[in-house]
Every structure is written in C-alpha cells, then in structure tokens.
Amino acid sequence: MHSSARGHGWVLGIASFALPLLVWSAISYLPFLWHPMVRITDPGQVDYFVKDMQIERATFLEENRKLAEAGRIPAQGVRENPVYLPAPHLVAKALFTAFRTPPRLAGDPWLHESLAHSIRIIFYGFALSCLVGIPLGLLCGSVPPASGLFEPFIDFIRYMPAPAFGALAVAITGIHDAPKVAIIFIGTFFQMVLVISNTARNLPKALQQAAQTLGAKSGQIVMHVVLPGILPQLYRDLRILLGWAWTYLIVAELIGASSGISFFINQQAKYRNYANVFAAIIIIGCIGIGTDTLLKYLGRWLFPWEPRR
C-alpha cells in the first residue's frame, strides 16, 4: 500500500505542476478561450488608434461597426491577453535572460544582486529568531514556571501581524536593512517560541523515566534523552517557520527603502515587463522549494532513525 502510494506520488507530483501549466498555456495560446483584448496592427481610420496599442475587444468592435456604417476603412488587430498575463514561453525566456539583462537604470541592482539581498535579509532575521527563540522555547517547554511567565505575553503578541510593526521598526532602526530584519524576526520569533516549547513538552515522558531507571542523572537526561529526542521535530518546526520567513520577506522589503526581490518586481511592473515579474515570482518559489527539499534530505541524513513520512 505504501509503495504504490509512493509510486503514484511521483505521477501526482508531476501532474500537480503540469496541470496549472496546461491551463496557463491553454489560456495563452488558444485565442477563443479568453483573449479579451485586441492589439492594433493597422489603425485604419479610427483617429485615436495607434499601431501596437492594446484595446478592449468590445471597444474595438464598436469602433469598427461605426466605421463600417460610415463606409470608412476599418481597423485591423489580433486578439490578445492583457499585458499582465504573458504567455509561458515569454516567461521562460525571461527566466533565461533575466540574470543577463542589465538593469534599466544604472545603479539599480541586477536580478542576482536583488536575490542575494533578499536571502541575506531572510538569513539574518531567521538566524536572530533562532538564536533567541530556540533556547527560550526549550526553556518554556521543559520548565513549567517559565512557560507560565513567558507564553501568555508571547501568545498575545503573536496575534499582531508583523507588518503592523513596520513603521515602528523604521523609526527605531532606520530605513535600511535593519527594519526588514526586524520584521522577519517579529514574524517568526513568537511563533517559534510557542511551537518549540510545544515540541519540547511533547517528548514522551516514558523515555525520560526509562533513562532515570537506567541510572541517568538530570544532566545526562537533558544531553542524552531530551535533546536527541526532540531534535527531529525541532528541525521540522524550523523548516516550516523558514517558509513563514519568506512570506514576511516581501512585506519587509517594502518597508523603508524598498530593496531586494520586491524592489525588482516593482520596478519590472512599472516598466510593464510582466514576464520578468512572473520570472521573479517563480524564482522565489524555486528557491523556497529547493531549500526545503535540500533540508528534507539533510534531515534524513541527520536523523536516520526517523521513519520516512
């Protein structure tokens, strides 16, 4: 049952990517499906039509009807999708060329520089979060009074959306990278403490008791039972929280001086370069799924005793 489920898993995994791509291709390449706009190839005698202008189909037909009634030359055009939905092959081309296209304005970052900047923000924010969140989470999970002291307040802050702290972060830390790191920190830290303290609490008591009856003392139990006991789940928790960090990234980058991949996306949207916008979004997705897959296999190597899920 397991092996067949896994076998089908592959097929389903490919299909889950192929299906959206298929829908996108169909909408892009089959003009009768959607294509609500018309690109003018020949303005004819409509005075405000210009070549290569995109116009709604209803307007286009209406104008041509008027021209036909007046016996004048109608405009020519081809059906198209709106400019914000580029066809797959254009996005594929953009993916291919994005890294080699210099920025439109001298001094603006290249795509790879934007990406590197984003990854740096995530890294600092998340690392800072781990540095404080993991020890505090473990403390709350293993010492009940600590949980009673910290968790209610953390629970309270956790309901405040991290971007709400944006203005405050800028006021306190300036407009450059610091407030962005702060938003990633705020977005992940409070969740992290609660999730990790829960993980620490969920370690079966039987394991610690077994160690006690085998003569282990409290220090030994922490080192040889509690830590290895919760490590795999802790690792999974961090993997999930890293996903959260990416979610907060885009908001964080818009705070203060816009930067990183969000800046790139906004610039490209301003130039109506939607193929590049899509390419950048897809690159974020690839980085996300790539890191997660990497971490998954690293986890299997680190924790060989875990049953495969």
Residues at the contact surface with another protein, assessed by CB under 8 A: 204, 206-207, 209-217, 220, 224-225, 228-229, 231-232, 303-307
As a whole number of angstroms, the distance between CA 51 and CA 256 comes to 40
Minimum distance, C-beta of residue 228 to another protein, in the bound complex (Å):
4
- How near is the Cβ of 235 to another protein at its closest, in Å? 12
| Nearest residue (CB) to another protein, 37 versus 226 | 226
Q: Please, which contacts does 290-297 make with residues 24 or more away whose CB atoms are closer than 8 Å?
A: 291/242, 292/239, 292/242, 292/243, 295/235, 295/239, 295/242, 296/239
| Nearest distance in Å: CB 135, another protein | 21
Our CB check for another protein shows the closer of 100 and 217 to be 217
Name the residue nearer to another protein (CB basis): 100 or 309: 309
User: Shortest gap between Cβ of 141 and another protein (angstroms)?
Assistant: 18
Residue 81 φ then ψ, to 5°:
-85, 160
Of the pair 152, 307, the CB lying nearest another protein is at 307
Q: Which is nearer to another protein, 292 or 306 (CB)?
A: 306
Confirm if 37 and 81 have CB atoms less than 8 A apart: yes
Structure tokens at 148: 């009673």
Bridge partners, 54 (sequence order): 39
- Alpha-carbon distance of 206 to 229, in angstroms, equals 12
CA–CA gap between residue 139 and residue 241 (Å, rounded): 19
Provide, rounded to whole angstroms, the least separation between the CB of residue 244 and another protein: 27
Nearer to another protein, 76 or 212 (CB): 212
Q: How far is the CB of 218 from another protein (least distance, A)?
A: 11
Which of the 8 DSSP states describes residue 79? E
